[in-house]
A and B are shown apart, each in its own frame.
Chain A
Amino acid sequence: MLSNLEKRMLKPFIGYLDERDEYQQGEIYKILAGACMHAFYLTTGLMLISLIVDTINRTFTFGTIALFIVNQLVSYNILFRLRKTGIAETEYDIEADYKKIITGLRKKFTLAGIQWGFTMLILMEFLLPALAGEELEIHWFSPLIWFISGAAFGVVTYFFKKEMLKK
């Protein structure tokens, strides 16, 4: 459900005059959901580009911080409302089905953790220092830090996803 503020914002945002019926409202929500997803991925891309440009110029601009904050706010808003309404939850009445899904999730988030750790290792230890024109100094503990971070990322996202599955 839209909040009162959102209801008031919707009319001028879309630009209709009188009330919309249920079909039209449904279509408006679909369009807005699609636009929100596109905007989120676009701002994420722009944030990365802005971070790369900042790194090259050895600075940290307001744009990068603002894009990061906007993305975080949008993410938490969506996550909070999804959890509140329970829309993302899936219920299982058969134990075997639940266990099968959990096993699949473990594999999926193990891979996600490895991928995240590896990506961050390349990005933070090689790519960004190279773009900043710094000398590459690889310490023995760098891969270890990113391995632990990747494991933490995988475990946290796994438990977050697991919470959405109910027996």
Chain B
Amino acid sequence: MNRVAEYRKLSGLSQLALSKEIGVARQTVNLIENDKYNPSLDLCIKLAKALDTDLNTLFWEVNHHAE
């Protein structure tokens, strides 16, 4: 599960506001947050920039039990 929703909420953005910022439909943001669509690298970078973070933080799967 990616952390787009978590970082979007931390940034105080709604799905609609984030979608407008990165130039996609709100439904697309919703699908990305729910792991139902794998965005292109270009879109991943736009998301990371909009949420003021990096790709690893948003998309890299971390085994929390190992931490």
Contact = CB atoms under 8 A, between A and B. Distances in A.
Interface string A7-39: 000000000000011111000000000000000
Interface in B5-64: 23-25, 27-28, 31, 37, 39-40, 42-43
Of the four ranges (under 10, 10 to 19, 20 to 34, 35 or more), the interface on chain A belongs to under 10
B64 to A, nearest CB: 29
Contacts of A22: 24, 28, 39-40, 42-43
Nearest to A23: B28
Contacts of A21: 23-25, 28
Contacts of A23: 24-25, 27-28, 31, 37, 39
Interface of A: 20-24
The 5 closest A-B pairs by CB, nearest first: A21-B24, A23-B28, A23-B37, A21-B28, A21-B25
